[in-house]
């Protein structure tokens, strides 16, 4: 491992400070400030931490990438800060492929770049470029609100990150770009490969997925415990979102995606994230949420709760049908079967039940015909499963024959999430069905012996859900 040294330039006048975009808000620094700002600071120890747990796994991932692209220069950017409005930015999250290949996760630096430099013989030298911390004698320290340590706190040193990640590091100023570079998200082959590389999780990733599920389970329990407060607030859906966010943020890094807190008819909108509605006793509330832990791995779980603590007869019928579909999908998930078989098993249950209820103009068998059917999909338009990991919809750039038409293998982590949604204005269903939306979603680990439901500890059956709410209201 090698590192480059830091070059310090003492700012002796205000004009030497970097320009900012908010010049109308910038106040001039007096000469007294400029004369003394570089003085009176204690020595900062330059300690190198031990390599983090995922560094060894990241080495194996980089080796796989290197072997797949002999003689090619590969550039994997972490990405940059993205503007939210004016001079404020969204919280930074590194590109998933960058984090997967470096092990640098929630603490990754914006603007970092991982580069695979081809050797003359074979393989690659891998370098991590980033803007390391600036000495307190530099103008950047106090004058640049985006990277100055006076504003955002300490930034990492090259040597510390090199030891932490087991990577050679260099200052971003030394990065060169070549015309024949293969750049992530610009080159389809590279983008596809690093996506497919995540289809099979290693032991570290599986451990992080279990941790993310545990944090998420605690967040759901928090929501149930706060149901009285949620019901009392005129925007109770926001309280659901806030309660879960507190758990995700305190025990992890953040939420893995925008929380869906959809009460009553809102549950029929698949991506309802406005979360500004009331939560009314007698309705169901559909909550789709996942905690992203510090490694950036996220859970993705949905539970549908009766706000009053008890399902009505029609709510229970719909809920237990969705659970039946989820259980059928779980039974269909075996090593060596096609991934799409999971969806097909769930759809068979959905079509059978809605046909029995008289909601289809054809038989269930006719609805399940791939070419002429699909009538039942009116009430469940989405798919049943997707891969899960460092992205909530992980491996999304993988080829279809590796993903939807691929075979289930040990080490894969995916969701099972059937649902039934009867829109408030859908006149094809009886009035008592309208405005009811139910989804049950679990996170599944495939092993050599079959599927394991990582989120099975979160109540799933109608009876279990009612008992769960009752425990918190006792």
The tokens for 447 are 């092993």
Q: Are residues 220 and 307 in the same domain?
A: yes
Single residue among 161, 196, 231 that ends a domain in this structure: 196
Q: Are residues 246 and 185 in the same domain?
A: no
**How much is the pLDDT for 6?**
36
Instruction: Give pLDDT tens digits along the chain (474 positions).
Output: 333 333 333 445 555 555 444 556 677 899 999 999 999 998 877 777 888 999 999 999 999 999 999 999 999 999 999 999 998 999 999 999 999 999 999 999 999 999 999 999 999 999 999 998 888 888 888 888 888 888 888 889 999 999 999 999 999 999 999 999 999 999 999 999 999 999 999 999 999 999 999 999 999 999 999 999 999 999 999 999 999 999 999 999 999 999 999 999 999 999 999 999 999 999 999 999 999 999 999 999 999 999 999 999 999 999 999 999 999 999 999 999 999 999 999 999 999 999 999 999 999 999 999 999 999 999 999 999 999 999 999 999 999 999 999 999 999 999 999 999 999 999 999 999 999 999 999 999 999 999 999 999 999 999 999 999 999 998
**How much is the pLDDT for 208?**
98
Q: Are residues 144 and 181 in the same domain?
A: yes
Q: Are residues 157 and 210 in the same domain?
A: no
Single residue among 160, 175, 196 that ends a domain in this structure: 196
Single residue among 196, 226, 256 that ends a domain in this structure: 196
The answer for residues whose C-beta is within 8 angstroms of residue 63's C-beta and 6 or more apart is: none
Q: Are residues 148 and 98 in the same domain?
A: yes
Q: Are residues 97 and 220 in the same domain?
A: no
| Assigned domain for 72 exists | yes
| Assigned domain for 93 exists | yes
| Assigned domain for 374 exists | yes
| Assigned domain for 410 exists | yes
| Assigned domain for 439 exists | yes
Q: Are residues 189 and 248 in the same domain?
A: no
**How much is the pLDDT for 8?**
37
- The count of domains in the chain is 2
Which H helix or E strand runs over 445? strand 442-447
**How much is the pLDDT for 283?**
98
| Assigned domain for 6 exists | no
Q: Are residues 114 and 185 in the same domain?
A: yes
| Assigned domain for 2 exists | no
Q: What is the pTM of this model?
A: 0.93
Strand order in the sheet with 182-183: 168-171, 124-130, 113-118, 74-77, 182-183
Q: Which domain holds residue 436?
A: 203-473
Q: Are residues 291 and 185 in the same domain?
A: no
**How much is the pLDDT for 81?**
95
Q: Are residues 330 and 456 in the same domain?
A: yes
CA atoms of 410 and 147, how far apart (whole Å): 43
| Assigned domain for 5 exists | no
Q: Are residues 183 and 238 in the same domain?
A: no
Q: CATH no. for residue 307?
A: 3.90.230.10
**DSSP notation for 45-91:** P-PPPPPPTTHHHHHHHHHHHHHHSTT--EEEE-----EEETTEEPP
Q: Are residues 165 and 274 in the same domain?
A: no
């Amino acid at each position: 491992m090698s590192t480059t040294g830091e070059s310090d330039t003492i700012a002796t006048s205000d004009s030497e400070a970097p320009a900012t975009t908010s010049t109308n808000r910038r106040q001039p620094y007096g000469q007294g400030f400029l004369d003394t700002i570089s003085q009176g600071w204690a020595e900062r120890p330059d300690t190198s931490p031990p390599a983090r747990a995922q560094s060894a796994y990241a080495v194996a991932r980089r080796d796989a990438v290197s072997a797949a692209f002999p003689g090619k220069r590969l550039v994997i950017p972490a990405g940059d800060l993205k503007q939210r409005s004016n001079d404020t930015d969204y919280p930074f999250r590194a590109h998933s492929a960058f984090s997967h290949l470096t092990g640098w996760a929630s603490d990754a630096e914006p603007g970092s770049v991982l580069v695979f430099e081809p050797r003359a013989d074979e393989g690659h030298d891998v370098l991590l470029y980033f803007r390391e911390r600036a000495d307190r004698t530099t103008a950047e320290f106090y004058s640049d609100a985006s990277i100055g340590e006076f504003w955002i706190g300490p930034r990492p040193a090259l040597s510390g990150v090199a030891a932490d990640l087991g990577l050679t590091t260099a200052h971003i100023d030394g990065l060169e770009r070549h015309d024949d570079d293969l750049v992530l998200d610009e080159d389809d082959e590279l983008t596809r490969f690093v996506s497919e590389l995540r289809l099979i999780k290693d032991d570290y990733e599986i451990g992080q997925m279990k941790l993310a599920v545990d944090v998420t389970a605690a967040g759901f329990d928090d929501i149930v415990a706060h149901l009285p407060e949620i019901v009392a607030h005129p925007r109770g859906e926001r309280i659901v979102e806030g309660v879960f966010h507190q758990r995700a943020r305190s025990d992890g890094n953040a939420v893995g995606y925008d929380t869906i807190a959809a009460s009553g008819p809102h549950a029929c909108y698949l991506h309802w994230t406005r979360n500004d509605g009331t939560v009314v006793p007698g309705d169901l509330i559909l909550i789709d949420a996942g905690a992203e832990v510090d490694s950036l791995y996220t859970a993705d779980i949905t539970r549908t709760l009766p706000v009053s603590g008890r399902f009505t007869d029609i709510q229970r019928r719909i809920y237990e049908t969705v659970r039946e579909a989820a259980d059928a999908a779980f039974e269909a998930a075996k090593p060596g079967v096609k991934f799409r078989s999971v969806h097909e098993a769930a759809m068979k249950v959905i079509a059978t039940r809605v046909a029995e209820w008289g909601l289809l103009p054809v038989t269930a068998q006719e609805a399940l015909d791939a070419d002429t059917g699909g009538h039942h999909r009116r009430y469940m338009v989405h798919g049943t499963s997707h891969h899960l990991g460092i992205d909530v919809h992980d491996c999304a750039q993988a080829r279809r024959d590796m993903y939807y038409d691929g075979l289930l293998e040990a080490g894969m982590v995916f969701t099972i999430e059937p649902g039934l949604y009867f829109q408030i204005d859908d006149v094809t269903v009886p009035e008592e069905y309208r405005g009811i939306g139910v989804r049950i979603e679990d996170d599944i680990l495939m092993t050599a012996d079959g599927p394991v439901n990582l989120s099975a500890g979160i109540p799933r059956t109608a009876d279990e859900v009612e008992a769960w709410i009752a425990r918190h209201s006792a």
